[in-house]
Each structure stands twice: as structure tokens, then as C-alpha cells.
Amino acid sequence: MKTLWLLVLSLVIFGCTTFGTKNTKVDANVICIWGTQQFDLCQYKTQEQMIDALLLVMNLDEKIGQMTQSIWHNNVSPEIVRDKRIGSIIHTEGPTPGPNAMDWVNKFNEFQASALQTRLGIPLLIAVDAVHGQNTFEGAVIFPHNIGMAATRNMSLIKHAAQITALEVAGTGFNWTFSPCIAMPQHEHWGRVYEGYTEDRDLTTAAVIASVQGHQGTSLAHRDTVAATAKHFIGDGATDGGVEGGNAIMTDQVMREHYLPPYTAAVNEGVASIMVGFNSYNGHNMHQHTHLVTDVLKGELGFEGVVVSDWNGGLRFGDPHTVINAGIDIAMQPGNHNEFMAKLKASVLDQTVPMSRIDDAVRRILTMKFNLGLFSDPFAKKEFAKSVGSPAHRAVARQAVRESLVLLKSDNDALPLSSSDSIAVIGKHGNNSGLQSGGWSIHWQGQTENYRGATTIYDGIKAQGMHVEYAEQGCYPDMLASKAVVVVGEFPYAEALGDSDELWLSDAHKKLITGCKSLGKKVIVILISGRVLAISEDLDKSDAFIAAWLPGSEGAGVADFLFATNGFKPTGKSPYSWPVAVTDIPLAPNADHELFKFGYGLQDY
């Protein structure tokens, strides 16, 4: 690290100027001299003048580099970032920089140092899909997925969780997160239901405001904030049949009344970026939808930030000009940046893509980098590395867990548990932090093993009960426990691999419930799932039933709920309506034949 900082000091001298963001005005020390050309920013008085000056001296390759994002471990190295003038990198599934937060900070600082060695030394955006905490780093706090956060109905808690996520994202070397997802899923077959908050427009709108405020604070230039991303614009959760990347069919009136307001709120909050979806809108792919991206989002809503593609978005749907001309500013290219950059350059040279479109994109990107304070201090905020996974952060996530649980049934004095009860925790999900966390947890598709720093549901119950056993295979004759906490549900999934027609408990999990009931136990079912399922039969065979969603790393929060710790009473309310049968899906929010209505949740045991 000493060598790295000597490099920086050799490249820069410090000056001071004043510049503003959309939300606030900040005084910041701006590094004056940049890159091997020794470009002097301090000869200009305002941020806008600095950006104009950079645009004036940038060549086409440098501009296209700013519009390109690649994966740091996939055909990219610090040297390639320098030589190709790539403006943005991401971390995703694959190798990690190491087991410790400082390993990540040091690795991404290497990439940043290389970016500073380019002709103009423009710093990097370094991004991650931190969608429920810094979920790519083993040892970070992983919050409940958004479906659970919405169940809390606690906007201050959603904001606080985003603030902690920002600290842990910054503390592992990043300055940009692809969160929050503000899809309003309408179809439980979709494998990304849990990434959205709810099917309800107004609750989604409130949640996105809280999340953006938490991630970005009052200024992106503050050290404890990161850039947020509202995604996936627009209608990603409304595709026909709930198919990932499918076609969302609706009238413009429905789009404007139901799906656009959360994005309007995000723009009004100054969200730094918006990611377009893989889906189509009435047959027209969103990555190529000039009217919705340029005319509506940038024009009508006045969005001044960066529009980023989804995975391989610059090439997935055809030549780059089709998405760049539609209004995409940064293309996420996983290891195929050379092809994207070459094809985009050819399209500019033959005037298929006007230079004005390139300049607009680069201006937005540079503005985001200035607003993040990267022209003042481009390196990772290593002071936050020590707080990643801290007890204070875990306490907030534990609160989020207990407030997110929705009590669907409570009979026969099964709840709350007492520390003197004889209790059995049943099922693999009951003692496995990977299973309780779902997709986007350590790995893209999640994992089926425990991970560092997390507590399982069994861990939490054992810490509060005096007579607790764990029986993965189910209840058995002569079992001493009188109460069985049966933990069942879905196995982790993400994106297209999560699309499913089997929206019910497996036969093996049903057997865990009936097996305990047949032995005379009081059965408390904990359902781990990323969406509502058809549970009518299982509900009938239980004494208490709790929708726990995907609680994340703090399984002890489930125990707090079960034991009514410190006088806790259930607060969670369902963010979705529940079907009686799978054939009822998709279920209208106010249908007459619901098992449970939107907002249902018992508020006492």
C-alpha cells in the first residue's frame, strides 16, 4: 500500500474548489493534477467547467472506455484497465480478492491506481450487487431480502439497513451498488420475486425512498455513502407468466400509474444510476427502448444520472449502437469488453451513433464520479473495513429479521416459546445459514452450506432455550421435545434458475410437518421462501405458521420472534396476497378468494 500512495502523491497536487450535487452543495478538496498528461483541473472554477474541459481533451477511445464496465477477474487486470482506459469494473460470481475486507480494499485500490496512470487519470467506478447487505463478502452482514424488509413496514429500518450496507460496501472497496431492486412482482412464478419489496406501488415507493436515502445520504461525496441503483427499468416483475426477461404487456396508462411512480421517487431522491431490465415492454426490449429510456426517464422524469445496462447488455441484444442510441450510458460487459468497444467505435466513426450521444453518456459518468468525490479521493474507504460484519451492524439486521416475520397462524398456545420448553428444531433449513439466506448470498445462486459470521435459526433457539435439540431428519418416537419448530421451504436460487411452476412445499418437507404432528407435538412451521407459496394443507396441519421469507445472516432474530424476547410482539405484515392454490396464481392484490390478503399478519401470539 505504501507504494500505491507514493504513486498517487507523485501524480497529484491538491487544490480546492466548490461544486454541487443534485441534492446538496459541498466544499471539497479536488486533486488538481491528473494522469500522465498532468491535466490541471484546478484551472477551472466549477464542476461543470471541469467536466467540459475533460470532454474537450478526451479522444474517442477514452470516451468509449468510460462507457465500458467489465469484471475485474474476467479478462481484466489493472494493466488492461490502464491500457484500455476502462472506466468501471464490477465484482460478481467468481474468484474473490481474499478472505479479509482489507484484501478486497487492497485489490481494488490496485485497479484504481492503474486507472490513475492513464493519460487523463480518470478514476474508476467499482461496483457490486450488494442487494441485501454486502452479500458477496463472506463475513459481511446479510439482511433479509427486500421481500422481508417490506414486511417490516418500517421505513426507518430500511434506511438504516441501507446505511449499514453502504458502510460495508465501502469497507470492502466499492463505491457503487446495484441496489435497490424496485420491481413490483405480479407473478410468483418469477424467480426474482424476493428481490422486489412488494406487489404494491405505494409501499415500493416508500421503500425505494428509504433505501436511496440510506445508501446515498445527503451527499455522495461523504465517505460513508455509495452510489445506489434503482432497477430494473421498467416492468421487470410484470412479464407474462413471470418469465425472467420476458414480455411485460400493459397499457401506457397502467405503466404510468403503477410502475413509473417508484422510479419518479428514485429520481427525485437523486438516485445516482438506474439499470434497465432484460424484459420487453409490449414486445420492445427495454435495452433498446429509446422512448422509455431517453424520452420518459431522462426527458420527462429529468433523470440526470447514469443509465447502466444489465449483464452483457451492450451485446446481448445486437450491436452496441442499438442500446447506446436508446440511452444506455454504461454497458456491463463480462470479459468481452474488447468486442463491445470495437463495435461501438465503428458505429461512432460511421455516424450510426452521434458523438452527441457519446458525450452525453460520458458527461453523466464524469458527473457521477465527481459527485462521489472520486476526484478528491479516488481510493477505497479503508477505515470502514474493520466495521464489516460488526456486532452493531448485526444487531440491526437481527432487528430486521424479527420485524420481518409474518405470523399467519397461532393456535393451541404453541407460541411464544418459553426458555423452559422442551424444543426440537426440525429440518436442514433450521441449521443452515446458506439455506436461510436465499440467492445472492455469498454466491450468485446462493449456497447450501453455512457461511462465516452468520447464526442459524437453531443457533438462536439454542441460545435462548434450556432444552433444545436439532433433528434434521424429523421427529421420532420417544423424542422428549413437546414443541417442534419445523423449518421448511425453498432452496436458494436467483434470476432465471429461480423461475418455477412448483410453488409448494416438497413431499419431504410436508412429511416433516405431518411426522411431528402425528407424534403429538405442537408444530410451529417456519417457512423460508422468496415468495408466497400454496400452503393451505400445511397450514391446517400446524399449530403456528410463520412466513420468514429469506432472513439472511441473523437467524437469532427468528428466535427473538419465537420467544417474544424482551416483550416483542409480531409486527410483520405480508407484502403479498397469498393464493389458496397454485391455480390461483397470478393472484390479484384484492381478489375475493385469497388465503391471506395483502397486509395480513397477526399482531399477537
Active site residues: 310, 495
Eight-class DSSP state of 313: T
Q: What are phi and psi of 597, to 5 degrees?
A: -80, 160
Other CB atoms within 10 Å distance of the CB of residue 575: 31
Cα distance between residue 356 and residue 350, in whole Å: 14
Angstrom distance (rounded) from CA 259 to CA 182: 9
Question: How distant, in Å, are the alpha carbons of 134, 215, 276 from that of 161?
Answer: 11, 9, 24
Give me 472's grid cell.
434434521
Cell of 31: 486533486
Q: Give the full edge-to-edge strand order of the sheet including 88-91.
A: 176-177, 125-128, 88-91, 68-71, 330-332, 306-311, 273-276, 229-233
Cα(430)–Cα(474) distance, integer angstroms: 11
Hey, which residues does 579 pair with through a beta bridge?
none
**Residues 6 or more apart whose Cβ sits within 8 Å of residue 411:** 543, 544
Rounded distance between C-alpha atoms, residue 427 and residue 520, angstroms? 18
488: left (phi over 0), alpha (psi -120 to 50) or beta: beta
d(CA 416, CA 410): 9
**Among 484, 502, 586, 593, residue whose Cα is nearest residue 541:** 484
